[in-house]
Amino acid sequence: MKKVMVFGTFDIVHLGHLNLFKQAKKLGSYLVVVVGRDITSKKIKKITLVHNEKERLEFLKNIRIIDQAVLGNKIDYYKVIKTEKPDVIALGYDQQNFIDKLEEKIKEFRLNTKVVRLKSYKPEQHKSGEIRKKLLEKT
């Protein structure tokens, strides 16, 4: 079994996310999605989330292509990597948070994890920030 891991907030799941999951799944046979904790997501994105971490986790658990969805750690963001031992970490095309120490942590955990960057999928249409703006304009 080749385990692939992706990370994100996944507050408003859209076609861009589904494409991310599909791209990631092609890299292995078992897809683990790590859901950012509320406190972490709010700090990074500086927005009010629509769904709390438990709701986001539950939603993702019901997407067929995802084999396992887990909450990230509130304090040690890299702990889930040590616990799950993925063969591949697939980063979103625009993912910037917590990647600065990623290679270092993989070495520290004595893992042979490959890090890959996935392609964007119509970012002008399927980007959470843009979708959020459009939803707010309608209200």
Tokens of 103: 């290679």
User: How far is Cα 9 from Cα 57, in angstroms, rounded to an integer?
Assistant: 10
Burial of 115 (0-12, 13-18, 19+ CB in 10 A): middle
45 flagged as catalytic: yes
25 flagged as catalytic: no
70 contacts: CB under 8 Å, gap ≥ 6 = 32, 33, 34, 35, 57, 80, 84
Name the catalytic one among 22, 43, 54, 74: 43
Helix, strand, or coil (residue 79): helix
Name the catalytic one among 42, 45, 82, 85: 45
Active site members? 43, 45
